[in-house]
Amino acid sequence: MEILSRKSINIKIKELKSDIGNIKDLELSIGKFSEEKWTEAEGPTPFPSITALREWDKKLLDRYKPFYLPFCDLCCLCTYGKCDLTGNKRGACGIHMSAQQSRTVLLASCIGAATHISHARELVTYAIKKFGTDYPLDPGGLAVEVEAPIIRLVCGVKPEKLGDLETVLDYLENQLTQLLSVTHTGQEGNNLDFESKVFHAGMIDQVGMEVADIAQISVFGFPKADPDAPLVDLGMSVVDTKKPVILVIGHNVPPAIQIIDYLKDKRLSEEVEVTGICCTAIDATRYSSKVKIIGPMSWQLRYIRSGIPDVIVVDEQCIRTDNLIEAEKIRAPFIATSEKNCLGLPDRTRDSADDIVADLVSRKNLGVLILDPEKVGEVAVKTARAVAPKRKKSRTSLSTEEIIEQAKTCNQCKMCRRSCPNDLHIPDSMKAAGKGNIGMIGDMYEECIGCARCEQACPETIPIHNIIVSAATQRTKNESFRIRAGRGAIQDIEIRKVGGPIVLGEIPGIVAFVGCSNYPKGGKEVAEMCIEFARRRYIVCTSGCAAMSAAMYKNEDGKTPYELFPGTFDAGGIVNVGSCVANSHIAGAAVKIASIFARRTLRGNYEEIADYVYNRVGAVGVAWGAMSQKAAAIASGFWRLGIPVVVGPHGTKYRRMLLGRADREQDWYVHDRRSGEKVYVGPVPEHLFFAAETKEEAMVMIAKLCMRPNDTSKGRAIKLTHYIDLHRRLFGTTPDDAHLFVRTLTDIPITMKEDLTKILREKGWKETIIPDPTLLVNQVEKRGVR
């Protein structure tokens, strides 16, 4: 990307006219800075074009062949169609099924990346408007010197001020546009080239997320890489319903922050409850620990229907598009705040706050659009205080009697179950409820993802979701948890400390729970997995919906995972980095291990660093409830860095897996950096994208996928112990592929020596060496060359 890297060198603005005033002689001098202060040599691919990393991608894709799982037999992308692509038929444009599926993955990843990038742009624009382009970026205080590992890695620039991020965003928007255009009818025709572009989308998505989070950390003073970020409240029952209650939903935190600030300014903080769902909630608690998180996105219907919120403020992303309708049912005024989500509401941005409040209170407007966070703050607070006393907290929940009565009208047609994403046993539970036993339907609360498809399908218009929630009143009453506020980045010093143990394998792995709440059997599985791996002294990271779900568990002493485990990026920590965009810090940590610990060149040196991470850093991403296009993009970003991703069974709907073939020995050779020899290292990591059928399968796979060629024998023995142990416990047997992970006899865990030695003998195991592993020929230090 010549243009953009060029721009990044020196941009001077002589005159700047904008709404907020004029600026003269502003200098944006990223490049100059970099030249002067950043002595690191530039790698081969700063601002890489959409094919610049194609060779690297092909290396990965050669090992991890896409297994396509078409979600539809047809293509309906253009009006030549629909085209039937079954039986290897080609569409009217000549495309075949594998390319079509990968094209769909690219489309999803582009949507996901666009969402993060445009969110980042919105944050940066807002921040610059308020704080100026020269406002310094400071995501980690003194503890973080490598402030933006992903940006440095991908773009080869070192952002120091807010304004620097604009150049990065220009690049991202440019790449995104190119990638999206690739999905046009009659562009790319090869599935692997599509996949390479998917990886590119993932990479720019990761940059976009990093831009967003370091911008918001810097300007809003979020915790700066703080392992001891405060514990904050989470759950339906933590809300003080006697006060006026504001609900914020979405991802873009400025409106919520303006609400908090307005309350603070007017000394009303104790008078009004600010509650939140989804990432806006997480980010609001990074700003003020007074904010209360209700839960992940699947809590929207439940909470609104509880009647508790007096005013609902939505911004962008992962917002139920029928919240306006639901808000109306409980007579809560509604405020939309994003250009991306206007919901047909009248734009009142230019009207006075009091006029808007009046119209909301009188219900002349059931909802309004306000594209100015400050005004949102004032309007939301004033409206909440005005309506709260008047508004009957008209919840839509049902008494046991009402439930039974409704359940009696069920005709057992099963349309609800057949519409439920998780095939939940609604008809049986309804039958039981009709007979007076509401326990079974109440139990469904744990597994229900709150989508209301059942209600939509019911010919008797039974309010099924309401019944589920109402029948679980006792549960929601107990919904009171503690989550550690998102800490943001990982400190350099933490990296220095764990770098060695991770790369050698002695810390068995980094397991990052990210993504949405499309859980097959409820959110508690995330909490259980977090605890299991934290106990086993993996480093556990969380972000987004998964971070919230991880909090929704208590042990016998009433302690939640975040109370049980520290927030340090170290063995046995549970590290909530923050909202969705904060998950860039997890990839960032992997990259920083290569840079800070291993001193590899970061700047524009993607391939080498990815090769490093892939072969040495035992990290695994887990998106147990992955659902969104953003989740698709996030996964793609991990893949290009060589980090495997495990998803739940719904993940098979992402159109393809990337699976290694442990049985094909020829697939698992690396170069030894010192000798240049090709060395068999076993199937590590075995898969790059894997959908697990059950939590148990996921856990065994996570342990397995943490192995890396670079593990020392000590490290490998530790990792093998966990893998075998989990396999035995969850599957009942010692895994029959354990031998593939033993390179020398010292790799064998002592406690498992007998068992394993037997297996090795049976399998005709042969000792191999532990190389200094790389997939890149150019990494080989040939004699005399370096």
Q: In terms of Cα–Cα distance, which of 125, 115, 122, 110 is closest to 175?
A: 110
| Distances in whole angstroms, Cα of residue 620 to Cα of each of 59, 348, 509, 541 | 19, 46, 8, 10
Does 360 engage in binding with ligand SF4 (CB under 6 A)?
no
List the interface residues with another protein, window 504-563 (CB under 8 A): 520
Does 421 engage in binding with a second copy (CB under 8 A)?
yes
Does 724 engage in binding with ligand SF4 (CB under 6 A)?
no
Measure the CA dihedral 482/485/486/491, to 10°.
-110
- The set of residues, in sequence order, having a beta carbon less than 8 Å from that of 664 and lying 6+ positions away, is none
What's the closest the beta carbon of residue 443 comes to another protein, in angstroms?
Answer: 14
Does 733 engage in binding with a second copy (CB under 8 A)?
no
CB 695 within 8 Å of CB 529: yes
Q: Write the single-letter amino acid at 108.
A: A
Judged by CB under 8 A, which stretch of 68-76, 369-377, 396-404, 635-643 contacts another protein? 68-76
Provide the angle, in degrees to the nearest 10, between the axes of the packed helices 279-287 and 254-265.
40
Q: In terms of Cα–Cα distance, which of 429, 428, 427 is closest to 445?
A: 429
Residue from 65, 119, 592, 687 binding a second copy (CB under 8 A): 119
CB 324 within 8 Å of CB 258: no
Residue from 701, 718, 738, 752 binding another protein (CB under 8 A): 701
Does 41 engage in binding with ligand SF4 (CB under 6 A)?
no
Provide the angle, in degrees to the nearest 10, between the axes of the packed helices 353-361 and 373-390.
30
What's the closest the beta carbon of residue 108 comes to another protein, in angstroms?
Answer: 15
Q: Pattern of binders to ligand SF4 over 683-712, x per CB under 6 A?
A: ------------------------------
What is the DSSP code (8-state) at residue 472?
A: T
Taking residue 325's Cβ as centre, other Cβ atoms within 10 Å add up to 12
**The entry of a second copy, ligand SF4, another protein, none that residue 657 binds, CB within 5 to 8 Å by partner kind:** another protein
Euclidean distance between CA atoms 419 and 487, whole angstroms: 39
Residue from 1, 53, 95, 552 binding ligand SF4 (CB under 6 A): 95
CB 271 within 8 Å of CB 262: no
Does 93 engage in binding with another protein (CB under 8 A)?
no
Euclidean distance between CA atoms 200 and 61, whole angstroms: 13
Q: What phi and psi values does residue 24 have, to the nearest 5 degrees?
A: -120, 145
Q: Pattern of binders to another protein over 630-669, x per CB under 8 A?
A: -------------------xx-xx---x-x-x-x------
State which residue, 268 or 371, has the beta carbon closest to a second copy: 371
DSSP string, 634-684: HHHHHHHTT--EEE-GGGGGGSEEEE--TT-GGGGEEEETTT--EEE--SS
| Count of residues that interact with ligand SF4, criterion CB under 6 A | 59
Residue from 366, 730, 760, 780 binding another protein (CB under 8 A): 730
Does 86 engage in binding with another protein (CB under 8 A)?
yes
CA atoms within 13 A on the CB side of 395: 15
**The entry of a second copy, another protein, ligand SF4, none that residue 14 binds, CB within 5 to 8 Å by partner kind:** a second copy
Q: In terms of Cα–Cα distance, which of 610, 433, 626, 455 is closest to 526?
A: 626
Does 412 engage in binding with ligand SF4 (CB under 6 A)?
yes
Residues in the chain: 786
Euclidean distance between CA atoms 33 and 391, whole angstroms: 57
Does 325 engage in binding with another protein (CB under 8 A)?
no
What's the closest the beta carbon of residue 453 comes to another protein, in angstroms?
Answer: 9
Judged by CB under 8 A, which stretch of 5-13, 148-156, 401-409, 528-536 contacts a second copy? 5-13
Q: Which two tokens stand for residue 234?
A: 């989470």
| Distances in whole angstroms, Cα of residue 315 to Cα of each of 119, 129, 281, 484 | 11, 19, 11, 23
CB 527 within 8 Å of CB 552: yes
Judged by CB under 6 A, which stretch of 419-427, 471-479, 552-560, 721-729 contacts ligand SF4? 419-427
List the interface residues with ligand SF4, window 271-290 (CB under 6 A): 278-279
Residue from 140, 227, 309, 450 binding ligand SF4 (CB under 6 A): 450
Does 497 engage in binding with a second copy (CB under 8 A)?
no
CA atoms within 13 A on the CB side of 51: 4
Does 88 engage in binding with another protein (CB under 8 A)?
yes
SS3 530: helix
Euclidean distance between CA atoms 11 and 97, whole angstroms: 46
Euclidean distance between CA atoms 579 and 278, whole angstroms: 8
State which residue, 422 or 560, has the beta carbon closest to a second copy: 422
Residue from 159, 244, 296, 682 binding ligand SF4 (CB under 6 A): 296
Does 81 engage in binding with another protein (CB under 8 A)?
yes
Taking residue 323's Cβ as centre, other Cβ atoms within 10 Å add up to 23
Euclidean distance between CA atoms 375 and 350, whole angstroms: 9
What is the DSSP code (8-state) at residue 183?
A: T
CA atoms within 13 A on the CB side of 784: 0
Does 658 engage in binding with a second copy (CB under 8 A)?
no
State which residue, 298 or 419, has the beta carbon closest to another protein: 419
Does 318 engage in binding with a second copy (CB under 8 A)?
yes
Q: Which two tokens stand for residue 303?
A: 């909470």
Does 77 engage in binding with ligand SF4 (CB under 6 A)?
yes
Residue from 132, 421, 566, 676 binding another protein (CB under 8 A): 421
**The entry of ligand SF4, a second copy, another protein, none that residue 114 binds, CB within 5 to 8 Å by partner kind:** a second copy
Euclidean distance between CA atoms 43 and 153, whole angstroms: 9
Residue from 40, 59, 69, 78 binding a second copy (CB under 8 A): 78
Q: Pattern of binders to a second copy over 15-34, x per CB under 8 A?
A: xxxxx-----------xx--
Does 184 engage in binding with a second copy (CB under 8 A)?
yes
Does 63 engage in binding with another protein (CB under 8 A)?
no
**The entry of ligand SF4, a second copy, another protein, none that residue 427 binds, CB within 5 to 8 Å by partner kind:** ligand SF4
User: Which residues are registered as beta bridge partners of 352?
Assistant: none
Q: Which two tokens stand for residue 575?
A: 């590290």
Q: Pattern of binders to a second copy over 340-359, x per CB under 8 A?
A: xxxxxx-x------------
**The entry of a second copy, another protein, ligand SF4, none that residue 426 binds, CB within 5 to 8 Å by partner kind:** ligand SF4
CB 148 within 8 Å of CB 39: no
Helix (H) or strand (E) holding 540: strand 539-543
Q: Pattern of binders to a second copy over 435-454, x per CB under 8 A?
A: --------------x-xxx-
Does 304 engage in binding with ligand SF4 (CB under 6 A)?
no
| Count of residues that interact with another protein, criterion CB under 8 A | 49
Footprint of ligand SF4 on this chain (CB under 6 A)?
72, 74-78, 80-83, 91-93, 95, 185, 278-279, 296-297, 318, 410-416, 419-422, 424, 426-427, 430, 448-454, 457-460, 462, 464-465, 515-517, 544-545, 580, 627-628, 630-631
Footprint of another protein on this chain (CB under 8 A)?
65, 67-74, 81-88, 97-98, 415, 418-419, 421, 423, 457, 520, 649-650, 652-653, 657, 659, 661, 663, 687, 690-694, 696-697, 701, 730-733, 735-736
